Amino acid sequence: MSRDLPPEEFRVLAHELADWMADYLAGVGALPVSPAVRPGDVRRALPAQPPEVAESLEDVLADFRDIIVPGLTHWNHPGFFGYYAITGSAPGILGEMLAAALNVNAMVWHSSPAATELEEVTTDWLRQLLGLPAEFDGVINDTASSSSLYALAAARDAAFPDAHEKGLFGQSTGRVYASDQAHSSIEKGVLTLGFGQDGYRAIPSDAEFRMRPDALHAAIEADIAAGVRPVAIVATLGTTSSSSIDPVSEIAEVAREFGVWLHVDAAYAGPAAIVPELRPLLAGWQQADSIVVNPHKWLFTPVDCSVLYCRRPERLVRAFSIVPEYLSAPHEPDGESGRNLMDYGVSLGRRFRSLKLWFVLRAFGREGIIERLRAHVAMAKEFTTWIDDSAQWHRVAPTPLSTVAFRFVTAGADAHELDRANLRIVERVNRSGEVLLTHTQLDGHIALRLSIGNLRTTPAHVERAWQLLREAAEGEMASRER
């Protein structure tokens, strides 16, 4: 007797869920993109104690529909323009469902050979789509935060060859350099690796929010003179606030001159390299030692899926490999062995993440991906023309890809008033429930961001966002006149 759900019951529920998912994807645009809940609402609606006896899954599903779904921010909504907009595409969802059913764990090759090898195949396919050289070897992690941490760990071992055995105590100080626009995950990685906040140096960026190579050069020179050891330079291609693109070729020259590891954070912008006319934006990134690209961002793969490419994967393995006997491979008669993914990062267990990426790459193909990314860029470009043609709005940064940074401006208001006005505008727009935008700080002031990355977003959704923004701005101007 099976102690799991009887197969026939599972089949019925799985069909029901398949219907629910298809309806959700078809109708998500009609739901409020962000929920009308306050902190604690969802929690209070659920029992504080676990169930003593079995409950019917139909009851669980009812609560899922009535309590959980209304408490969600719908990232799969076509009006989702916040953070970096993403898509859990239908092919990706199907791959994810199968991964759950299989429940394999690709810790080592023999714990799930096909999962390990499909990860090798899909990351190499993606490498080819991105136009990166064959030396780059990919592994899949949960997030870019993990991928960058692992890259920095490899860089640390390269800079401090004794660190693997002895740790960092008693060593001279190390430093990691990234622009003042870099993602917070880089500094977090530096902290996690034990360099402390002193081990992180934010390099100033220029008027278009790109790292200044001259300032980087000067900072490294000064550090070396003071006995501080450079560990890694992190160039960001597609920064989080403005999607600015660091001059990676010039940064690579600095890295070469001082023999420092170059890590490229292209978590969002990386997939742009698949599109021929956008690839030049990333030119030079192939000189990096490591690169992170998130298929769960702008490549239609459900969260989580982050690919870390390393030019010398043995460096990663050196940083992380400890093999206890219970995990060592049975001796293969022919002496050949497969890859053990546990050696490429902190976690032992590995979800079968390549399956959903494989589904996405096959279901869309290079041509389909290019066409979809182009549509996002075209919608963002159109939005920038509206901003640029309007006296009340100002574009804060160039728009190389599908993310626009802009702000409301009006004569006679000081910068502080404008900050508050922009925050009120984004809040009012978001309260509509039709679209979701987020804000950031650029040049010390509030800027709004519109990020396009959802497959269901159409020009009509972007037009609606623009209309809501203008209405909110008119409200601001009317209240100033009173």
x-marked contacts with ligand PLP along 3-22 as a string, rule CB under 6 A: --------------------
In angstroms, what is the minimal distance from the CB of 78 to ligand PLP? 20
In angstroms, what is the minimal distance from the CB of 268 to ligand PLP? 4
Region 84-113 residues binding ligand PLP, contact defined as CB under 6 A: 84
Choose one: 52-60, 236-244, 374-382, 436-444; the region binding ligand PLP (CB under 6 A).
Answer: 236-244
Region 248-287 residues binding ligand PLP, contact defined as CB under 6 A: 265, 267-268
Task: Kindly tell me the sign of the dihedral angle through the C-alpha atoms of 260, 275, 88, 457.
Answer: positive
Residue 177, number of CB atoms within 10 A of its CB: 26
Q: Which is nearer to ligand PLP, 241 or 432 (CB)?
A: 241
> Is residue 145 at the binding interface for ligand PLP, with CB under 6 A as the rule?
yes
In angstroms, what is the minimal distance from the CB of 36 to ligand PLP? 26
In angstroms, what is the minimal distance from the CB of 332 to ligand PLP? 35
Q: Name residues whose C-beta falls within 8 Å of residue 144's C-beta, 6 or more positions apart in sequence.
A: 183, 185, 265, 267, 292, 294, 306
In angstroms, what is the minimal distance from the CB of 183 to ligand PLP? 3
C-alpha distances (whole Å) from 363 to each of 88, 93, 124, 271, 295 are: 13, 12, 17, 16, 14
Q: Two tokens at 475?
A: 């409200």
Round to whole Å and give the CA distance between 284 and 273: 11
Which value, to the nearest 10 degrees, does the dihedral of the CA atoms of residues 10, 12, 17, 18 take?
110
Region 290-329 residues binding ligand PLP, contact defined as CB under 6 A: 294, 306
Region 178-197 residues binding ligand PLP, contact defined as CB under 6 A: 183, 185
| Closest to 268 (Cα-Cα) out of 44, 31, 85, 79 | 85
Q: Two tokens at 101?
A: 């059913």
> Is residue 205 at the binding interface for ligand PLP, with CB under 6 A as the rule?
no
Round to whole Å and give the CA distance between 151 and 131: 20
Q: Which of 34, 122, 179, 236 binds ligand PLP (CB under 6 A)?
A: 236
Residue 433, number of CB atoms within 10 A of its CB: 15
Q: Which is nearer to ligand PLP, 148 or 287 (CB)?
A: 148
Residue ranges in contact with ligand PLP by CB under 6 A: 84, 143-145, 183, 185, 236, 238, 240, 265, 267-268, 294, 306
